[in-house]
Amino acid sequence: MSDRHWQEDAAAASGIRSDPARYLNRELSWLDFNRRVLALAEDPAAPLLERAKFLAIFAQNLDEFLQVRVSGLQDQMDAGLRTKTPDGLDPVEQLRAVRARARDLVARHTEIFVDDVKPALEAVGIRFTGWDELTGADRAELAAVFEQRIFPVLTPLAVDPAHPFPYISNLSLNLAVLVRDDRTLEDRFARVKVPAVLPRFVALADAHRFVPVEQVIAAHLDRLFPGMEIVTHHPFRVTRNTDFELDDEDEDLLEAIEEVLHRRTKFGKVVRLEIDTLMPDEVRDVLQRELEIDDDAVTVVDGPLDLSGLWALLALDRPELKDTPWPAQTPATLVPTELRPDIFAMLRHGDILVHHPYDSFATSVEAFITQAAQDPDVLAIKQTIYRTAGAESAIVSALADAAREGKQVVALIELKARFDEQANMERARVLEEAGVHVVYGLVGLKTHAKIILVVRQEADGIRRYCHVGTGNYNPKTASLYEDLGLLTADPQFGAELTELFNHLTGYSRPVGYQDLLVAPEALRAGLAERIRAQAAAGPAGRIVMKMNSLVDPSLIDELYQASAAGTPVDLVVRGICCLRPGVPGLSETIRVRSIVGRYLEHSRMFRFGPDPLTAEWYIGSADLMPRNLDRRVEALAPVRDPALRGRLEEIVATVLADTDLAWELDADGTWSRVPQPTDDRRVNAQCELHRRAAERAHRA
């Protein structure tokens, strides 16, 4: 991994004030976000299976953080780099602080499961049972399961002079086993990997009792080591560095991505070893020596390892233990007056704003693409794909069908979407086989913009229809992530998307856009210019931003300048926030809150101006991070229709009024829940937005 990649924040900070007190640490801020996720699992008012789900989400989030961010800090430290981030910490200091906080979070995570969620589940008939607690009949049942489904896929690996220590794959659950030869009385070390194809928790036939899979395997180790005495066995899990630098100059990008995936699987350095509290020092010493890690990289867990397996509980038919379903609504402007709506005709009458998952993805974005694919007057469809569903998805199928019908179809697929590389390669091959022109974007830049362009021949000439969104074209995440999308037939907008696609697929140089704010050429400057305009208005100005992450020091400084001028600033930041709000003389007029709830808050929207109906509004794919502003293709689109601006203001006002899901950031960098009123003024933003979407659909 290159030094450049892991010095992004430091590089972006050049030329700005270097006072560390101005900024919060990026990595610690992310851990604070995951703590807010964990708080959802602690909520006794939440349905039990939803609490278990958030325990699983916390575990998966932390795995990814360690694979990418902690591994980067480790690389910097190993390389002897002492470059400080804007908050004043060098890699050694960051790594020490991150590991300490992560250990505390893991301990709390385990405690919530063992002492709270697990007993609560048992009270409603869902039990996590240890092998020692099973009856003879239960053990006989699991013995049959072991023989039929588990034993055939296990491979014990001995460690001795003839058998070197095996490679321990990333995120794999394993058993470290000591066996004794009865003839020589010699103890030997072996490793048994728990294959990923096996369930994390094995269900008994009654479907409401679960046994950790490693305990089922441990009870039958004599089948793996016949004739040997089992001295001891202990589970362990390894997390490795998976963030390898891609050589963008490689002539065959597919081949380069495949090499990165191979390296991710085979060569990542270990950044964490998870063990249980019962593992003896002699076994731990073997693992640390062979994995080449020190004590700081070891996490001792007083409970089951890898609670991401709790996701499986959502498959249980226990609706009373889950959130009440909120059916997505067809947006009022898309409610058909005939059997099937003509989306093109509707867009000729005006722009349409969709707000997922409250508004249906299927009857808006998917319907838009499907109609374009089936319409004989459509000449071309162009779309970016960052993360989407499999080959069976409606959008992938529609693009393939359109190409087979002879339409000009272009899919710009981002192969470098982290952890989705393999899936995106498969999408690319499916689309290419159907005749779609598949391209992979620009050298050195990820294409993160969410844009669609449809070109249609009409009686009065060519007309272009567009979609710009904040989220991926993925029906699964569209039901779980909160996102926005703008559908429009505005001619200027269509012309600019045409220029952008030509730039992405051909050799044209970037052009100046009147409507779009496009990164990396103009987004940073465009946002800074608009922040400065509100700063110039002083207390009469207004800035509202909603995003996933706020990291960029330069734009943080612009917001500080606006605050110094008295401009009120409201920031809704779901995850990382490196800005300190409410600091006297620095950020007194800035408020920061985070909404963490049933849906993942994923939309990005930006308002500049005091009057919500006349202010400048933008939506799009970019967070305020150096990578989004400088190393990705991003697009923010203006929302000009006063009615749609009113919808955006409704969303923002609801989020800012939330008392149930909201957290506020204090000047000292700590997050705390917004105080809840004791009367009927309580607001759950996600419940309220769902209610309003249902009301609009009902009126329509």
Residues 536, 498 share a domain:
no
pLDDT at 656 exceeding the cut of 70? yes
317 inside domain = no
| Average pLDDT along the chain | 90
Report pLDDT for 507: 67
Domain that holds residue 274: 133-293
pLDDT tens digit sequence for 262-271: 444 456 799 9
Whether the upstream peptide bond of residue 280 has omega within 30° of 0, thus cis, is no
Final residue in a domain of this structure, among 267, 293, 319: 293
574 inside domain = yes
The dihedral formed by the CA atoms of 138, 314, 109 and 72, expressed in degrees to the nearest 10: 120
Span 681-696, mean pLDDT? 93
Whether the upstream peptide bond of residue 584 has omega within 30° of 0, thus cis, is no
Q: Which residue would you say has higher pLDDT here, 503 or 264?
A: 503
Residue 556 token pair: 């943080």
User: What CATH number is associated with residue 60?
Assistant: 1.20.58.310
128 inside domain = no
pLDDT band at 610 (very low <50, low <70, confident <90, very high): very high
pLDDT tens digit sequence for 208-240: 999 999 999 999 999 999 989 999 999 999 999
Report pLDDT for 1: 36
Q: At what angle do helices 367-374 and 394-404 cross, to 10 degrees?
A: 10
Q: How many domains does the chain have?
A: 4
Residues 608, 556 share a domain:
yes
Q: DSSP letters of 165-209? A: PPP--TT-EEEEEEEEETTT--EEEEEEEE-TTS-SEEEPTTSSE
142 inside domain = yes
Residues 674, 618 share a domain:
yes
CB 256 within 8 A of CB 270: no
Final residue in a domain of this structure, among 70, 99, 122: 122
CB 285 within 8 A of CB 296: no
User: What CATH number is associated with residue 284?
Assistant: 3.30.1840.10
Residues 405, 499 share a domain:
yes
Report pLDDT for 349: 93
127 inside domain = no
pLDDT at 483 exceeding the cut of 60? yes
Residues 522, 606 share a domain:
yes
Span of 16-20, 49-53, 234-238 with lowest mean pLDDT: 16-20
Residues 265, 405 share a domain:
no
Residues 139, 103 share a domain:
no
Residues 249, 342 share a domain:
no
pLDDT band at 444 (very low <50, low <70, confident <90, very high): confident
Q: Which residue would you say has higher pLDDT here, 483 or 394?
A: 483
* Residue type at position 287: L
pLDDT band at 288 (very low <50, low <70, confident <90, very high): very high
Final residue in a domain of this structure, among 505, 526, 549: 505
Q: Report the distance separating Cα 273 and Cα 284, nearest Å.
A: 10
300 inside domain = no
pLDDT tens digit sequence for 388-405: 766 567 888 999 999 999
Report pLDDT for 183: 81
Report pLDDT for 8: 45
327 inside domain = no
Q: Which residues are catalytic?
A: 448
Residue 514 token pair: 């009147």
Q: DSSP letters of 629-642? A: HHSEEEEEEE---H
pLDDT band at 244 (very low <50, low <70, confident <90, very high): very low
Span of 129-138, 259-268, 690-699 with lowest mean pLDDT: 259-268
Query: CA nearest 605: which of 644, 652, 551?
Result: 652
State CA 90 to chain mean position distance.
26
pLDDT band at 427 (very low <50, low <70, confident <90, very high): confident
CB 477 within 8 A of CB 471: yes
User: What CATH number is associated with residue 574?
Assistant: 3.30.870.10
pLDDT at 303 exceeding the cut of 50? yes
Q: Report the distance separating Cα 325 and Cα 314, nearest Å.
A: 13
Residues 286, 160 share a domain:
yes
Kindly report the number of other CB atoms within 10 A of residue 140's CB atom: 10
Residues 83, 140 share a domain:
no
| Per-position b or e across 629-661, b if 16+ CB within 10 A of its CB | bbbbbbbbbbbebeebbebbbebbebbbebebb
pLDDT tens digit sequence for 332-360: 788 766 666 799 999 999 999 999 999 99
State CA 545 to chain mean position distance.
20
* Residue type at position 618: Y
pLDDT at 259 exceeding the cut of 80? no
Main-chain dihedrals φ then ψ at residue 209, nearest 5 degrees? -125, 140
Report pLDDT for 469: 97
Span 322-338, mean pLDDT? 84
pLDDT band at 420 (very low <50, low <70, confident <90, very high): low
39 inside domain = yes
CA triple 444-447-452, angle to 5 deg: 155
Residues 187, 89 share a domain:
no
Residues 650, 599 share a domain:
yes
